[in-house]
Structure formats: structure tokens, C-alpha cells
Structure 1
Amino acid sequence: MALFIDKLAISSPDITALERFPVEFTADGGNAVPRIEFSGAPEGTVEFAIICHDPDAPLPNGFTHWVVYGVPPGAGSLDTDAEGVRVAPNGAGFPIYYGPEPPVGHGLHHYYFWIYALGRPVEGEPSREEFLERYGDAVIEQARFVAVWSR
């Protein structure tokens, strides 16, 4: 698969890239759902997928905190209540956003918020790993921002 990086961008007015999460968006602070904004949909995008993943979690595949499918290509921000948008199970098996909660003393964890512009729609609500396996060839472009947290 060819690497394609152009204009697609993702950010949050609630979480500053490369800085610590505000506590209210962590499991310790109540798991408030951060606002997510994006722009630069490439031609051919039929939907976006958004995933928050912690590769530093002490598990073989890290820990997935949030999985969202069906985000319309014309949207500029994530609205999980919009028609067709689906929140799939996170690493704990629940279809919700679950904020950072790394093990105490485990050091700094990095939380990647990925956006994937897809050339075909995602069927159902696959896990992050299933999505990457089944839809990797449908990714037109991807972008991410990263924030950190430790306990």
C-alpha cells in the first residue's frame, strides 16, 4: 500500500497535541468525551474512522480507548449522535470513549488519535485490530495527533 499524506488533519480544542491530557478527559477525571475536529478530506472519501489508541499499554496490542465509524466525509467535527455514526467496542469491550488510565508508575503513555479517510464504508463495528486487517487497503489517507498521560 502506498503512503499518502496530504491535507487530512485531526485535532482537538480540548487536548493539545504533544501535551498532557486535561484530567477531565481521563478515567481519573470522569471520562469527558473530547471534541474532535478534522479537515482536508481527500477525493474519494466515503467515510472517516476515528480511533484513539495507547500503544504503551502493557498488552500485546496496546489498548484501544475509542473506535468510531461512519463519520461523514463532509463533517468537520465528530458527532457521535449523527446518523450513521457508530461507536464500536473499545479494548475493554464497551462501545464508549474510555479515557487514559495507565497503570500507576508505568511511565508516560502516548495516546494516538487517528483519523482514516476510507474509500469504502466499514460494515458493522469491528475492533481496531479487525478494522486495520479488513480495511487497511481502503485507507486513502490518514492523520493523527498524540497527547500523553501518566499516573
Structure 2
Amino acid sequence: MLEHIPAWLGRAMSGLRAGSDKLTIMQLGNAFETLDLTSPAFAHGARLPERFTADGAGVSPPLTWGMPPAGTATLVLIVEDADAPAPQPLVHAIVWDIAADAGRLAEGAIVADGSGDDHGDVGRNSYLREGWLPPDPPSGHGRHDYAFQLFAVGPGAGDAGE
């Protein structure tokens, strides 16, 4: 979609960004404990390797994390691009019902048919497709940072009527 615009237009839109204040994690305030989420494929703040973008294989990166807080029933992963030239961050992936003791998602695990195991259930990204939306920012728009956000959910959260 936006990746096909001319570079001159991307540069003209370089100041237009959703903003990190609109990331899901920022909307929740301090209502959660921090989980240590990392990837063996890239360092925090480093450029996302091409393999995980639309310019490469377009697979989701491997992710690992420590033990969630006591009482965690399940985990939810949301990946967003707050640098997208849009009113809200672009959602690259939503995965819920990840087993609390899973500790990791393997490379390529965020796919539409990945539900029903420790990898959880996969929701729709900003392009309204299930699975990983490989990053492909507009040419000339500048650096894009991707927020990989992991949330621990207690028992009963999300039950009908809540």
C-alpha cells in the first residue's frame, strides 16, 4: 500500500507519524509489569533484518521472553509501527492465547494457520489479514521502529461479558 508511493512523496510525509504515544502499551498506562522480550535475530533498537520484511522472506522473527508474573493465564503479543504515516500505529501482528510458559515464538510462527498450539491464536493486522504483516515502509519516509509488545493476562480476562 504505502510502500509503493514515490520516494519524493515519502520524504514529504516524513514528519507525518502516528507517534509512540499511541502504541498499545502506552494506552494501558502502568497497569502491568514489564516482561523481558528479545529476539535472537536482532538487538533492541537495531534495524530489523531484511528476512523479516517485505524485501526478504517476510517471515515473523523469533522472539523469546522470561517467565511472566505469577498468576499469568495467557500472553498477548502486539507488534506495531508507530512511525507509520497514519493517525494510529500500523498493526503488524496480534497473537493471543499464547501459553504462559511458552517462553518463545519460533521464526515464522505468526501465521494464519498457527492457532491451536502454544503459538496462540492469530488476529488480523492493519491490512485486515491474519498473520504477520512484513514491514515495508514508504520509500523516503525515514527510519521506522517496530514495537514488539508482550502482555501477561490474568485468569478470567477476556471472558464473555468483560
TM-score normalised according to structure 2 size: 0.69
Asked whether the equivalents of residues 67 and 101 of structure 2 are also in contact (C-alpha less than 8 Å), the reply is no
**Structure 1 residues 41 and 30: CA distance shift in structure 2, 3 A:** same
Instruction: Structure 2: give runs of 5+ residues left out of the alignment.
Output: 1-28
The equivalent of 1:35 in structure 2 is: 62
Structure 1 ranges of 4+ moved more than 3 A: 1-6, 79-82, 120-124
Letter in 2 for 1:5: E
Residue 2 (structure 1) shift: 4.3
Asked whether the equivalents of residues 47 and 121 of structure 1 are also in contact (C-alpha less than 8 Å), the reply is no
Larger-Rg structure: 2
Q: Secondary structure at the match of 2:55?
A: helix
Select which of 47, 50, 54 maps to 1:20. Answer: 47
Q: Secondary structure at the match of 1:28?
A: coil
Give the RMSD, CA atoms, in angstroms: 2.4
The equivalent of 2:74 in structure 1 is: 47
Asked whether the equivalents of residues 70 and 121 of structure 1 are also in contact (C-alpha less than 8 Å), the reply is no
**Structure 1 residues 22 and 2: CA distance shift in structure 2, 3 A:** closer
The equivalent of 1:83 in structure 2 is: 117
* Count of residue correspondences: 125
Residue 92 (structure 1) shift: 0.5
Whichever structure has more strand as a proportion of its residues is 1
C-alpha distance in 1 between matches for 2:30 and 2:149: 18
C-alpha distance in 2 between matches for 1:111 and 1:58: 14
**Structure 1 residues 86 and 121: CA distance shift in structure 2, 3 A:** farther
The equivalent of 1:96 in structure 2 is: 131
The equivalent of 1:5 in structure 2 is: 33
Residue 122 (structure 1) shift: 4.3
C-alpha distance in 2 between matches for 1:59 and 1:51: 18
